[in-house]
Amino acid sequence: MIANDALGGIWRMAGLPEDALTCVQLSGADPVLPSSFAVGAAAQSTIAAAALAACELGHVRGAPRQQVAVDMLHAALECTGWFSIDGRVPELWDAFSGLYRASDGWVRIHANFAHHRAGALRLLGLDPGTAQRADAEAAMQSWKAQDFEDAAAAQGLVATALRRFDEWDATPQGQALAGQPLFTIDRIGDAPPLALPPLAADARPLAGVRVLDLTRILAGPVGGRALAAYGADVMLVNSPDLPNIEAVADTSRGKLSTHIDLRSEAGRDALGRLLKDAHVFIQGYRPGGIAALGFGPDAAARARPGIVHVSLTAYGTQGPWASRRGFDSLVQTAMGFNHAEGEAAGGGKPRPLPMQILDEATGYLIALGASAAMCRQQREGGSWHVQVSLAQTGQWLRGLGRLPDGLKIAVPDKTPFLETSHSGFGELTGLSHSARLSRTPAAWPRPSMPPGSHPPVWP
């Protein structure tokens, strides 16, 4: 079974005890969503790994191991990220986001943030205040796809040319990525084991663990939400001056949420105070970005010996694209997934995967890595650095193989897996968590709240 093998590989890479795998039960088989890729196995294995690792930390803290069950259909639907607010399903894509025909191929533009949209339109020679989608489509046809990608990257914009798998493999970035593992967990300093409060018999396995979540777009927030589901106190830290996306309502379930301006001395002081009592620090800045603000892995380990620092990037830390901005949809396009899915569908028109599985799976790998590193920290001390990237997850997904008839399956009904709760955004309906813990069920007792709703202090 693909998912069982994938879970075993993830588990061993994390250095976790083999006998814990007897506590997990996976049900279902691909295809569960229309795709020629094993997206169900990717969702199920990463969610199971995250939940089982949290339970293993609970075991390290003295609790008995417990069973973890994950159904593939439930896991895959959870990774679609569907939600509604007061019955309204938000439109998560800007009108200018998506694929455009260039003179020699296709380009995908990510325009969900206003400054990215305006920059792409100016690059196309258009006025952001008056341009329509049709204007952008017409303007793109005068560009070569690779030229637009290069010009956009030079201006810090987010756009990429469509490639086949073999074309991606031939790029310097593809070659750099090929030699990288799915994720890394490295010891970066010496420290005694951090004290954790005693774990009550009925407490979720991460109770008392404090997590700083300095991320905004899907993968990082999904990772923080998973840790919250297993009992951690997760503090989402956003800048008061940066835009967010509506998905923050869904990904903030179970979290505290504060505003801190890291460009100010007062903001850096506030984050420093939070860090001194934190166990995990998750950040999704471009490589070097958080270090420039004084909170890179080494600096964090000096300020808080024993910290687990988790770094998320788009294309990994090696190769010429290491510092390039990227989102799931762009990484899918650059690496060859959209082309391959379109070929499998017939007709050849590029086709996205049925969900942002690179974001979602990477999010659960963040949660896995955080718990696995904390297990090591509790056993042997030290400060730890976990590194993940969307492109490394993409490389792994590709390695799970293809499903010849996967696109023939109908989109399943998500209704049995929905749950509704009150939130600071309104009545929030979303997918329930698919990992079922036998003794201490996953839950989000804290309601989802808008960014900045809480003061920057631990409860």
**Predicted pLDDT at 211:** 98
**What does the CA dihedral 227, 228, 234, 239 come to, rounded to 10 degrees?**
90
Residues identified as active-site:
359
Q: What does the DSSP 8-state code read for residue 111?
A: -
pLDDT computed for residue 242 by the predictor:
82
Q: How many CB atoms lie within 10 A of CB 367?
A: 31
**pLDDT-derived band at 99, boundaries 50, 70, 90:** very high
Bridge partners for 109 per DSSP: 98, 159
pLDDT band at 348 (very low <50, low <70, confident <90, very high): confident
- Note whether 78 and 434 are within 8 A (CB): yes
Q: Which residue has the tokens 């949660």?
A: 367
Give yes or no for a contact between 352 and 326, defined as CB atoms under 8 angstroms apart. Answer: no
For residue 347, what pLDDT is reported?
Answer: 81
User: Cα separation of 440 and 55, whole Å?
Assistant: 9
- The partner residues of 162 in beta bridges, in order of sequence, read none
Neighbours of 353 (CB within 10 A): 23
Find all residues with CB under 8 Å of 451, minimum gap 6, and list them.
Answer: 236, 238, 244, 248, 252, 257, 258, 259
**For residues 288, 293, 297 and 300, what is the CA-based torsion angle, rounded to 10 degrees?**
180
Query: What average pLDDT does the structure give for the chain?
Result: 96
Per the structure block, which two tokens stand in for 122?
A: 């100016």
Paired residues of 210 in beta bridges:
233
pLDDT (mean) for 439-455: 98
Each residue of 156-175: pLDDT tens digit? 888 999 999 999 999 999 99
Overall pTM > 0.85: yes
Cα(18)–Cα(15) distance, rounded to whole angstroms?
9
- Residue 388: pLDDT above 90? yes
Phi, psi (5° rounding) for residue 5?
Answer: -65, -40
Of 26, 5, 21, 17, whose CA–CA distance to 435 is shortest?
A: 26
Q: Which of 240, 251, 279 is nearest to 386 (CA)?
A: 279
The pLDDT, as a whole number, for residue 29 is 97
CA atoms within 13 A on the CB side of 79: 34
Q: What is the pLDDT of residues 251-295, one digit of tens each?
A: 999 999 999 999 999 999 999 999 999 999 999 998 889 999 999
Examine the pLDDT at 338 and tell me if it is beyond 90. yes
Name which of 250, 178, 290, 175 is nearest 424 in CA terms.
250
pLDDT tens digit sequence for 19-50: 999 999 999 999 999 999 999 999 999 999 99
Confidence at 343, pLDDT banded by 50, 70, 90: very high
Q: Do residues 277 and 250 touch, judged by C-beta distance below 8 A?
A: no
Q: Which amino acid is at 331?
A: V
CB 236 within 8 A of CB 255: yes
Distance of alpha carbon 429 from alpha carbon 414, whole angstroms? 12
For 127, residues 6+ apart whose C-beta sits below 8 A from its C-beta are 121
CA nearest to 379, candidates 15, 21, 24: 15
- Reference 326, options 316, 336, 318; nearest CA is 316
Confidence band, pLDDT 50/70/90 cuts, at residue 321: very high
Q: Which of 125, 308, 108, 120 is nearest to 212 (CA)?
A: 308
Q: What pLDDT score was predicted for residue 287?
A: 83
- Residue type at position 249: A
Integer Cα distance of 148 and 142 in angstroms: 10
Taking only the tens place, the pLDDT of each residue in 199-252 is: 988 999 999 999 999 998 899 999 999 999 999 999 999 999 887 889 999 999
84: helix, coil or strand? strand
One-letter amino acid of 326 = G
Return the DSSP state at 402: B
Close Cβ partners of 43 (under 8 Å, ≥ 6 residues apart): 72, 75, 76, 78, 79, 357, 360, 361, 434
- Cβ neighbors of 166 (< 8 A, separation 6 or more) are 336
User: At a CB cut-off of 8 Å and minimum separation 6, what does 449 contact?
Assistant: 252, 255, 256, 257, 423, 424, 425
Q: DSSP letter at 22?
A: G
Report d(CA 358, CA 353) in Å as an integer. Answer: 10
CB–CB of 258/454 below 8 Å? yes
pLDDT-based confidence at residue 177 (cuts at 50, 70, 90): very high
Q: What pLDDT is attached to residue 59? A: 97
pLDDT at 114: 79
CA distance 352 to 44: 20
CA separation for the pair 244, 353 (Å, rounded): 23
Cβ(64)–Cβ(110) under 8 Å?
no
Residue-level pLDDT at 169: 98
Per cent of the chain over pLDDT 70 is 100
